[in-house]
């Protein structure tokens, strides 16, 4: 090769079935920290990174998992399209060595596509531990693609893999093809017709297109429809028995796989005994659902109890700091900005960091262990009844942490309708950003039963999510939820590293949010409360009161005054600002306790409108970032606006009901 080619980076696509360790391998190869989990569908969009090896720049793209090159779900489509359209130099298929047969089905399809390929036989440690032995040379010889043993989670086998990648780039191995027996005649006839169009057959392999046409693949069809050759291909296809043809193709592919396995593998059919034993309890006919409910409750309980001592510590720290600033800083307005605005506002949000950490630790462990996939299995029937499917249970549960990754995780749901309904329901799952509002108001007005009230909030959120799904299914997306076909991965012990990194990333995002959006939000509120110059801070003459007074008539029927109206208005940006804003407005810069006292002392607030306010905060529109993700995922202004409008309308109606009915009764 000449010098130019040496400079040219090697583009490598990492593909493979869902949940085989592609992201782990990607992280090990590129030094990135992509999130990994143990359920099919963790990676939903492609990620890229690079490394230098033997003076060559190698660029890696981590693709979402796919079972075949026919795209059934959004994430599979991303992977399939990348491999077909972006034409990477090398395709590395990450193979779960402990699940060889099914993994090799994709290998067969990749072979048909004819790109230089390397097989990373991952998780080989598990395979060997249970006494299977895999002959890499036999696989390499049989498939004509180098097979390399890797353990991505421990970074083993990387050099061998990189060597193999560079090897197939410099001298591509002989092309292999799968024999299709009786179908060969049909394939060849179709191929001849396709090859008459040199423009299309120079871009995509004709044999591959021929098999795709037999499988009725809409992607390849789309490439050919409207071209001259389609006039001959279409009548030819309509005469074929394609149903049988498709089955025969699959059958022949698995025929090859059987041979590869027989040649290369000793004792590769053993069962996953530990995992099966655990499932005997965890998805047991009688115990499965009670165990799930206990876990849910336990996670909830732990989020609060384990975090409390740390929260007290942070609260005390900020109180100390706020008090000191108020006393020692001059001029007075600066002291007010620091103590009332920044310390009060941002501090009131930072105090919930321990809750966030505990919640993501628990979610991370559930995700890594493989239990979330079981949740989908357990809940499918129930979800089906409300117009959703088992896979919707995963985003909904993740919604308790943060709605943004939850909505992104809906990409593993194949059906567009199912996916849209899940996206519309997820924002009602009470995310951790709403927790500060509950803790503050439940603590101030329901001291003895604060825990129960908070639990009721989560319950209301779930009920609204269910009703929303049911309504959308019966009114808008009529018909049955789509098919449910999902792999149940073996249980794995969550690794401290993986769960820790994920939790840290989340905690860091929360800190960043506190330092940016929330900081600006509370500073804006502080400024509006302090202006015009010389006005009493947050008094009736201040600008913020003027704004609040404009909206006040709107929220008066809900029992809210102008201060709450302002806090809710700014809470559009991020729901934590509701608390931060109130802290600033009540000028209770010293501590959370001071705000609690200030709220209690406000005669316009009582149990009923406090409950109404919590419900309103829970339901009224997704935060700005979530709305952005909804738009990104649906690419529909209609649905994004629906999500916002529906939330506000619902929040308003329910809060109205609470105040109008509950007010006269209890207040």
Partner 1 sequence: MDVPAGGKVYVTSVKGTGAIRGRIMAMGLVPGTAVEVVRRAPLGDPLELMVKGYNLSLRATEAGLVTVSFAPPTSGDVPDKAAGGKVHER
Q: Which is nearer to partner 1, 415 or 576 (CB)?
A: 415
- The nearest distance, CB 191 to partner 1, in angstroms, is 13
Q: Which tokens go with 664? A: 């006269």
Q: Which is nearer to partner 1, 112 or 315 (CB)?
A: 112
- The nearest distance, CB 239 to partner 1, in angstroms, is 18
- The nearest distance, CB 657 to partner 1, in angstroms, is 33
- The nearest distance, CB 166 to partner 1, in angstroms, is 23
Q: Which is nearer to partner 1, 71 or 351 (CB)?
A: 71
Nearest CA to 666 out of 597, 600, 612, 620 is that of 612
- The nearest distance, CB 469 to partner 1, in angstroms, is 17
Buried b (16+ CB within 10 A) or exposed e, 218-249: ebbbebbeeeeebeebeeebeebebeebeebb
Cβ contact 645:427 at 8 Å: no
Q: Could you report how far apart the first and last alpha carbons of the chain are, in Å?
A: 84
Alpha helix (H) ranges present in 183-241? 184-195, 198-203, 206-214, 218-224, 230-239
CA 123, chain centre distance (Å)? 24
Cβ contact 214:112 at 8 Å: no
- The nearest distance, CB 64 to partner 1, in angstroms, is 15
Cβ contact 93:104 at 8 Å: no
Q: Which is nearer to partner 1, 48 or 68 (CB)?
A: 68
Q: Which is nearer to partner 1, 241 or 505 (CB)?
A: 241
Q: Which is nearer to partner 1, 207 or 575 (CB)?
A: 207
Q: Return d(Cα 589, Cα 594) in angstroms, integer.
A: 8
- The nearest distance, CB 418 to partner 1, in angstroms, is 13
Q: Which is nearer to partner 1, 140 or 530 (CB)?
A: 140
Q: Which is nearer to partner 1, 179 or 309 (CB)?
A: 179
For the residues of 382-431, what is the DSSP string, one character each? HHHHTT--GGGHHHHHHTTT-HHHHHHGGGG---HHHHHHHHHHGGGS--
**Residue 473 DSSP symbol:** I
Radius of gyration for the alpha carbons in the chain, expressed in angstroms and rounded? 29
- The nearest distance, CB 194 to partner 1, in angstroms, is 17
Q: Which is nearer to partner 1, 484 or 570 (CB)?
A: 484
- The nearest distance, CB 355 to partner 1, in angstroms, is 31
Q: Which is nearer to partner 1, 490 or 494 (CB)?
A: 490
Is the peptide bond between 379 and the residue preceding it cis, with omega within 30 degrees of 0? no
CA distances from 255 to 16, 111, 119, 132, 146 (A): 20, 15, 19, 21, 21
- The nearest distance, CB 463 to partner 1, in angstroms, is 19
- The nearest distance, CB 431 to partner 1, in angstroms, is 27
Residues β-bridged to residue 11: 59
Q: Which positions ≥6 away from 66 have C-beta within 8 Å? A: 15, 16, 17, 18, 75, 76, 79, 80, 106
Q: Which is nearer to partner 1, 35 or 102 (CB)?
A: 102
Nearest CA to 355 out of 503, 171, 244 is that of 503
Buried b (16+ CB within 10 A) or exposed e, 19-50: bbbbbbbbbbbbebebbbbbbbbbbbebbebb
Q: Which tokens go with 287? A: 């115990």
């Amino acid at each position: 090769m000449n010098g130019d080619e040496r400079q040219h980076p090697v583009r490598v696509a990492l593909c493979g079935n869902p949940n085989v360790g592609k992201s782990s391998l990607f992280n090990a190869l590129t030094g990135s920290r992509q999130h990994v989990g143990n359920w099919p569908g963790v990676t939903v969009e492609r990620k890229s990174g690079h490394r230098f090896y033997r003076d060559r720049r190698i660029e890696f793209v981590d693709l979402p998992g796919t079972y075949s090159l026919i795209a059934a779900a959004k994430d599979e489509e991303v992977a399939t399209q990348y491999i077909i359209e972006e034409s990477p130099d090398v395709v590395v298929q990450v193979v779960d060595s402990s699940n060889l047969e099914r993994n090799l089905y994709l290998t067969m399809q990749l072979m048909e596509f004819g790109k230089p390929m390397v097989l990373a036989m991952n998780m080989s440690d598990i395979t060997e531990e249970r006494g299977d032995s895999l002959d890499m040379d036999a696989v390499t010889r049989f498939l004509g693609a180098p097979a390399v043993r890797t353990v991505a989670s421990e970074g083993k086998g990387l050099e061998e893999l990189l060597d193999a990648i560079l090897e197939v780039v410099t001298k591509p191995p002989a092309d292999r093809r799968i024999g299709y027996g009786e179908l060969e005649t049909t394939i060849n006839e179709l191929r001849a017709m396709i090859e008459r169009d040199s423009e299309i057959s120079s871009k995509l392999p004709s044999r591959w297109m021929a098999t795709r046409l037999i499988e009725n693949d809409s992607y390849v069809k789309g490439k050919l429809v409207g071209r001259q050759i389609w006039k001959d291909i279409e009548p030819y296809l309509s005469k074929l028995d394609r149903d049988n043809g498709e089955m025969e193709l699959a059958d022949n592919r698995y025929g090859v796989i059987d041979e590869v396995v027989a040649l290369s593998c000793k004792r590769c059919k053993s069962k996953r005994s530990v995992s099966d034993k655990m499932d005997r309890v965890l998805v047991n006919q009688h115990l499965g659902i009670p165990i799930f409910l206990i876990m849910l409750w336990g996670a909830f309980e732990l989020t609060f109890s384990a975090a409390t001592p740390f929260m007290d510590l942070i609260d005390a720290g900020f109180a100390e700091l706020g008090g000191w600033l108020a006393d020692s800083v001059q001029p007075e307005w600066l002291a007010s900005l620091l103590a009332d605005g920044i310390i009060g506002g941002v501090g009131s949000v930072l105090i919930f960091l321990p809750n966030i950490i505990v919640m993501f630790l628990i979610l991370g462990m559930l995700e890594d262990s493989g239990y979330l996939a079981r949740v989908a299995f357990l809940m499918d029937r129930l979800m089906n009844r409300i117009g959703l499917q088992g896979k919707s249970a995963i985003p909904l549960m993740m919604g308790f942490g943060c709605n943004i990754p939850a909505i992104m995780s809906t990409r593993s749901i194949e059906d567009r309708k199912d996916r849209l309904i899940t996206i519309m329901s997820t924002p009602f799952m009470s995310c951790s950003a709403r927790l500060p509002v509950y803790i503050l108001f439940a603590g101030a007005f329901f001291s003895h039963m604060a825990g129960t009230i908070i639990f009721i909030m989560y319950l209301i959120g779930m009920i609204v999510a269910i009703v929303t799904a049911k309504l959308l299914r019966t009114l808008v997306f009529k018909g049955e939820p789509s098919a449910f076909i999902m792999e149940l991965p073996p249980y794995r012990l969550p690794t401290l590293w993986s769960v820790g990194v994920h939790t840290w990333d989340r905690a860091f995002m929360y800190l960043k949010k506190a330092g940016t959006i929330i900081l600006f939000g509370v500073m804006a509120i502080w400024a509006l409360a302090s202006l015009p110059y010389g006005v009493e801070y947050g008094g009736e003459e201040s600008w913020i009161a003027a704004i609040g007074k404009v909206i006040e008539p709107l929220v008066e029927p809900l029992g809210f005054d102008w201060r709450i109206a302002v806090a809710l208005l700014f809470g559009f940006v991020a729901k934590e600002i509701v608390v931060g804003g109130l802290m600033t407005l009540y000028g209770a810069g010293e501590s959370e306790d001071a705000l609690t006292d200030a709220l209690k002392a406000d005669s316009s607030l009582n149990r009923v409108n406090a409950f109404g306010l919590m419900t309103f905060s829970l339901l009224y529109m997704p935060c700005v970032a979530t709305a952005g993700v909804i738009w990104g995922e649906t690419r529909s202004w209609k649905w994004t606006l629906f999500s916002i409008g529906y939330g506000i309308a619902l929040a308003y109606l329910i809060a109205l009901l609470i105040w109008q009915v509950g007010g006269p009764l209890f207040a």
